[in-house]
Amino acid sequence: MELCHGAGGRATRQLIAEVFQAALDNEWLRQGNDHALLPPMQGPLVMTTDAYVVSPLFFPGGDIGRLAVHGTVNDLAMGGAQPLWLSASFIIEEGFALADLQRIADSMGRAAREAAVAVVAGDTKVVERGKGDGVFVSMTGVGCVLPGVHVSGDRARPGDVVLVSGTLGDHGVAVMSGRENLGFDTHIVSDSAALHGLVAAMAARHGPALHCLRDPTRGGLAATLNELACQSGVGIVLDEAALPVRREVAAACELLGLDPLNVANEGKLVAIVAEEAGPGVLASMRSHPLGREAALIGTVVTDAQQLVRMSTGFGGERVVDWLWGEQLPRIC
Amino acid sequence: MELCHGAGGRATRQLIAEVFQAALDNEWLRQGNDHALLPPMQGPLVMTTDAYVVSPLFFPGGDIGRLAVHGTVNDLAMGGAQPLWLSASFIIEEGFALADLQRIADSMGRAAREAAVAVVAGDTKVVERGKGDGVFVSMTGVGCVLPGVHVSGDRARPGDVVLVSGTLGDHGVAVMSGRENLGFDTHIVSDSAALHGLVAAMAARHGPALHCLRDPTRGGLAATLNELACQSGVGIVLDEAALPVRREVAAACELLGLDPLNVANEGKLVAIVAEEAGPGVLASMRSHPLGREAALIGTVVTDAQQLVRMSTGFGGERVVDWLWGEQLPRIC
């Protein structure tokens, strides 16, 4: 990549046509304007955005292009929405290999097609060598709220139960294992996946019972549950024995001095649901391919301090705090 | 800024609350979820995205925060849409001054309020020192098509006239003058402005006559007209004497070896309109504060080669090509 690829002239035009339009092709992108004209939408709109700065760009089980689609689709799904339209902006470092950019764009296109969403708008800028790091992607998603679903981080109530859709920490450990300087190797691959199908399956049978949905990405389960506890003004009590963590992930975390509860996931969701619907929602999750290892991991309690606590067996308990410092930079 | 500010833990939370929520405050951002739940929209949706990597971050007449809002609002306006919702993603280099981030967020918030749009979703990532350059912003906008307006880059027809809303090259020259290493000084300030009010004024009286709207940003007027000629399969003939260029901008361009036609604008639009409506649209533009120096600069012609040509007086003519190489890196 050279600076001229981001200058808005003929080289930019050619890059867009040859790399991005081919990889992401759809009728809206093909309009060729600086905006996409899209059909009207039924119902309330949901909008979300994320920057992706993951390092390395290619890691076991995924890459930055695929991760961006999954992360954005999931933020929409966690808003109870059907994901529809995505936009992608690329900030590329001068000297970055065109073949790698092509691979990322192709992977992004594939992930979008699998998730039945379209990347309808994009932009490319190139910065000088040493002013970026390969490529950064920012992705925004727009979707439409599913009928009968009203989820929000402030809707957890004492008595609700806390469910997680599968094993914790796979993404973070996979990305760390892709960093050469750490010199460790596992067979763990990222769990990167689009969760809107799982949410639709849960919502179809238990829509009104779903109070909160959130994907425990950066900061892991610990950050997500602390956020939800703060937003809802409640406490949460977890049962350590119920937390699904792969043996290899637990071992890698021990090696790296990490707690799996702080490690990022990219294909898991946390659901806080009405107590009486708990078993039913859990069954719905387990009958979906992306929720086979779902588990009921805790309950919501009254707590003016809004703490997340974990019972550790034999009557022991510890507070699950979110991290203050940086443990896993550039994990997504 | 430290890496922990992007780690998703307590420091991220505090940064968002203290810097971004305060600066950009609105009821949708205040929902505090990873997505914004927005009201339903009437009519077809328009979506656009851009990355902003301008250097320096603060330049005469603007900064990256204000520029992002204007650039995004303008891309929606050029789609014939009423801009409604924006999202902002920040990629920040470790060590960047928090005070500068605050200044950028405040400026972004001010520009959004002035333009009556809301930044409803955001994200912040921090990368290691030397892997970024201060701050990069990606912004996405969503809007709703104005009734009776149908503009697209492929709608220029032979006989149509080409209008521009004001002087050319101000933004690019202002940013260049902000680069210390160039050692030149002008009184030129960026023309950075939100143009949706101007478009609404044009559309109110002449909606169906508006065929193409586009803002000549990166690549300048030359790139924009070449894009439109290609998309519509037509040629364009410009009258050099009619092009509005400030004397100081012309002088600075000469000093820097630039052609004002290739220099970016951030508060100007090009309109291609039906011939008979030309004088009326021009009058509408001139009666708006952002179109006072509007001019009729050319006509659309039949040309299988889709060339943009310029008559240079005394019967002379030259082809106005878009640039192949890089002339002005990181101008927006």
Q: Which amino acid is at B294?
A: A
Domain of A273, CATH number, reads 3.90.650.10
Amino acid at A256: L
Specify whether B97 is located in the same domain as B226: no
Nearest C-alpha in A relative to B231: A32
User: The domain that contains B55 carries what CATH number?
Assistant: 3.30.1330.10
* Last residue in a domain, options A145, A177, A193: A145
Give the integer Cα–Cα distance in Å for B59 and B64: 9
Tell whether the model's pLDDT for residue A32 goes beyond 90. Answer: no
**Span A259-267, mean pLDDT?**
95
Q: Which residues are within 8 A (CB) of B272 and not within 5 positions of it... i.e. 6 or more apart?
A: B155, B156, B160, B161, B162, B163, B211, B212, B213, B228, B300
Whole-angstrom Cα distance, residue B124 to residue B16?
8
Q: Quick: pLDDT tens for A267-288.
A: 999 999 999 999 999 999 999 9
Give domain status of residue A267, yes or no: yes
In a domain, A151, yes or no: no
pLDDT per position as a tens digit, A101-145: 999 999 999 999 999 999 999 999 999 999 999 999 999 999 999
How close does chain B come to A79, measured CA to CA in Å? 6
The CA–CA distances, whole Å, from A169 to A17, A198, A236, A265 equal 38, 19, 20, 6
Based on the fold, state whether residues A135 and A180 are members of the same structural domain: no
The answer to whether A78 contacts B33, with C-beta atoms less than 8 Å apart, is: yes
Residue numbers of the domain that contains B262: 161-319
CA distance linking residue B39 with residue B44, whole number of Å: 14
Kindly state whether A27 is in contact with chain B, defined as any CB-CB distance less than 8 angstroms: no
Which among A37, A41, A125 has the least Cβ separation from residue B41?
Answer: A41
What's the whole-number mean pLDDT along residues A161-178?
95
Q: Are residues B230 and B290 in the same domain?
A: yes
Contact B215, B265 (CB under 8 A): yes
Contacts of A211 (CB under 8 A, 6+ apart): A151, A152, A155, A156, A157, A160, A272, A273, A274
Buried b (16+ CB within 10 A) or exposed e, B141-152: bbbbbbeebebb
Partner-chain contact A79 B33, CB within 8 Å: yes
Q: How far apart are CA B51 and CA A289, in angstroms?
A: 36
From chain A, pick out residues whose CB is under 8 angstroms from the CB of B88: 49
CB A108 within 8 A of CB A68: yes
Span B8-53, pLDDT tens digits: 777 888 888 889 989 999 999 999 888 999 998 888 999 999 999 9
Give the angle subtended at the CA of A91 by the CAs of A86 and A95, to the nearest 5°: 135
Closest residue by Cα to residue A72 from A211, A196, A226: A196
φ and ψ at A78, to 5 degrees? -70, -15
Query: What number of residues does chain A have?
Result: 332
Q: Beta strands B45-52 and A36-38: pairing type?
A: antiparallel
Number of domains in chain B: 2
Residue A185 falls inside a structural domain: yes
Q: Which residues of A318-331 are buried (b: 16+ CB within 10 A; e: fewer)?
A: eebebbeebbbbbb
Q: Does B27 touch chain A (CB under 8 A)?
A: no
- Asked if residue B325 belongs to a domain, the reply is no
User: Could you report the per-residue pLDDT of A200-210, keeping only the tens digit for each?
Assistant: 999 999 999 99
ipTM at complex level? 0.95
- Dihedral sign of CA atoms A16, A101, B95, B9 in order: positive
